[in-house]
Amino acid sequence: MLVFVCETVTGGDFADIDLPTSLIAEGTLMRDALIGDLEDLPGVRVVTTHDARLPAPPRGTSRPIHAGEDRRAIWADLAGEAHCVWPVAPETDGILQNFVALLRTRCRRVVAADAETLELCTSKTRVAEVLRRAGIAVVPTLRIEDVPPGTEGPFIIKPDDGAGAVDVKLFERMPAPPYPANGLLQPLVEGEPASLSLLCQEGRAHVLAANRQVIGRIDGRLHFDGVTVGGIALDDGLRELGRRVGEALPGLHGICGIDYIETAYGPVVVEVNARLTTSYAGLRAALGVNPMAFVAEFIRDGAVPDLPHMPPALPVEVRV
């Protein structure tokens, strides 16, 4: 089986402009872990692309993309030659949504959420509303223009379609306008920042690991420093949270992530990532098993298996 993996940040999407340095480390970690896990499956070969200014990944066959080349045409050709495609891209400006749509014109098997779910997950405010209506505890999320006068901080302002910790800012009080055109506001919820790694397919969501996030603050900006994959013991409450999010967003597919705050009152969801997240880089080591072995696209008969009872994940540090 030939699998085309494309992580767009490292894969040439910025070949004509400056590289987004804040996302390179995370993109590289996800890409290299995914390619390695796929190539360790019997009979699987991986092709990918890389920005010619960056090193090629250590595994797989990679085609460099240079400034001036039509990267979308290159990606489309590679997708057309592959049996399966696994895209990894930021939600910002519809990059993930549009990329998946392109790939689906050339390959029947694309490991990604369905089109409706991808569109929904480009907006953190819309996802929060869907989860709230499903009875799931979420951090209150408002577009800046909808924030009532006199709202007291501290709170977070970030892009509604942002990825990672790009342009995530902490304010003690409401700043003066003008405000970001696509900004949202969330109150700062006290607790431990965390995430869940999910395997989602056919309307089911299995929690693979609960992870402790390392979030730093510099000059009013939040930044993601890394994650301890499996750093939080899974319990029935976290498994139930994953299951309920999967039910609320049945179009999720592949290995996805939920960011949440562990509070004194239980987990409160911050956002849902309908794609691979940085935690994946430590997932295999934490579980002691290759997660790709449970993805339907890479199983001979295509049947979604029930996950075996696995021992608790061991903590694995991933730093960016």
Summarize pLDDT for 151-183 with one digit per residue, the tens: 888 999 999 998 777 788 999 988 878 777 889
pLDDT tens figures, 206-241: 999 999 999 998 888 888 999 999 999 999 999 999
Tokens 């796929």 label which residue?
38
User: pTM value?
Assistant: 0.95
Is 241 found in the same domain as 162? no
Q: Which residues of the chain have pLDDT under 70?
A: 301-305
User: For residue 116, what pLDDT is reported?
Assistant: 97
Is 208 found in the same domain as 178? no
Domain around 52: 2-112
* Cβ 45 vs Cβ 72: under 8 Å: no
Q: How many helices (H) and strands (E) does the chain have?
A: 7, 14
User: For residue 166, what pLDDT is reported?
Assistant: 79
User: For residue 317, what pLDDT is reported?
Assistant: 97
Rg from Cα positions in the chain: 19
Is 129 found in the same domain as 248? yes
| Nearby residues of 127 by Cβ (< 8 Å), 6 or more positions away | 120, 121, 249, 271, 272
Domain boundary among 112, 128, 162: 112
The conformation of residue 275, written as its DSSP 8-state character, comes to: S
User: For residue 175, what pLDDT is reported?
Assistant: 82
User: For residue 303, what pLDDT is reported?
Assistant: 67
User: For residue 302, what pLDDT is reported?
Assistant: 66
Query: How many structural domains comprise the chain?
Result: 3
